Amino acid sequence: MGSQGSKYVIVTHNDLDGEAAAAAYLRIVNTRPEEAHIEFAEPYELHLALQRAAQHVVSGGSVALMDLGFNAESTPKALNIIRDLVANGVRVEWYDHHIWSDEEAGLVRQAGAELYIDRSTCGAGVVIHYASKTRGLEPDEYLLRLERAVCAADLWRWDDPMAPRLFRASSSYSPNGSSTAKWRLAMIQYFYEGQMWNEAMELRLRSYLQAELASSTSELDTVSVSSHGPCRAAAVLRTRDLPSDSIMGSILVSRYKASMGAMVKRRGLSRVSLSLRSRGSANVQVIAKALGGGGHPRAAGAAMNVPLIVYLLSYVYPRVLTAYVARRVSELAASLGACNDSVEVQDMQ
């Protein structure tokens, strides 16, 4: 812990929900973003982000983790850091809305962290309700409005008109090589100040939409579809950041009448990452969990090993890889009973 650190240190997921969660927390504790230290992380790198965060918090301060679920590889490594923080007088708060087992939650609480899990809302919603409650506060109308818009995007409901706009504006897309982290911090600043939308977001949205339209067509040429029983998977090879995985997933589900869309990215020799999306006719969380990942019923992620020959051939014939993934995912989904005929939600606008 640094002697000249911050009273409030945040480790949050690097997406819209994570940004909104961080901004909400700072509003609740009445601390401006520039007075806090903020780290962005994925669940699989939590221990690394927490190591960095620990250097910036003062004794008697707080480290707040948000919108980050339990990761089988990273979280156990983070527990020792949490124990050290607590032993040195630091309050560790963890707010999340992903699926946790009782054993996982018990390990985090035994390490000394205050863990708040609520699957009925998004990560920002957990912070808004539980960080407020522990401090004897009631969420203001702006925070409740922010929760509705962010949850509509993060939980893939799309039942709030602001959700598609905020989702695109907050994406990892970096026009002109600009810093993604810098933009994420700017979004936190805007939300903290009570700005749901402003000119900077509008300009970023316009730039994003132009790039999204220009880059989506070529990737759709790599799509493969496979069906097993009621489970129909459409897989696409992603080589660009645009459109986002959620938008591409929406396209796959609609265009190919699929139960789920699988966005495939190469992550090293014979290994790929998968972003899975569904509108309700498949529970992609159970599929991702079976592959060692996690997420939500309509949006989840995992990694997968593929045969070396498939991996190498995909550089010449991309559909060799997407056909393999679509078949594996649809087979796995069928074996898990992950597909059904539940009510669809509206398309992303």
pLDDT single digits (tens) 247-306: 899 899 999 999 999 999 999 899 999 999 998 899 999 999 999 888 889 999 999 999
Determine the pLDDT at residue 193. Answer: 98
Tell me the average pLDDT of the chain. 92
Q: Quick check: 259 and 309 in contact, CB under 8 A? A: no
CATH number (3.30.1490.120, 1.20.58.340, 3.40.50.2000, 3.10.310.30) of 221-336 reads: 3.10.310.30
Sign of CA dihedral 129, 131, 134, 135: negative
Boundaries of CATH 3.10.310.30 in the chain? 221-336
* Nearest residue to 290 (alpha-carbon basis) of 302, 272, 274, 308: 302
Model confidence at 118: pLDDT above 90: yes
Select the more confidently predicted residue: 348 or 208. Answer: 208
Boundaries of CATH 3.90.1640 in the chain? 6-203
Q: Helix or strand or coil: residue 130?
A: helix
Predicted TM-score (pTM) of the model is: 0.78
- In order of 75, 112, 299, the CA distances from 245 in angstroms are 25, 36, 10
Using pLDDT thresholds of 50, 70 and 90, give the confidence band for residue 178: low
How many Å apart are CA 64 and CA 258, to the nearest integer?
A: 38
Class of domain 6-203: alpha beta
Give per-residue pLDDT as tens, 58-111. 999 999 999 999 988 899 999 999 999 999 999 999 999 998 999 999 999 999
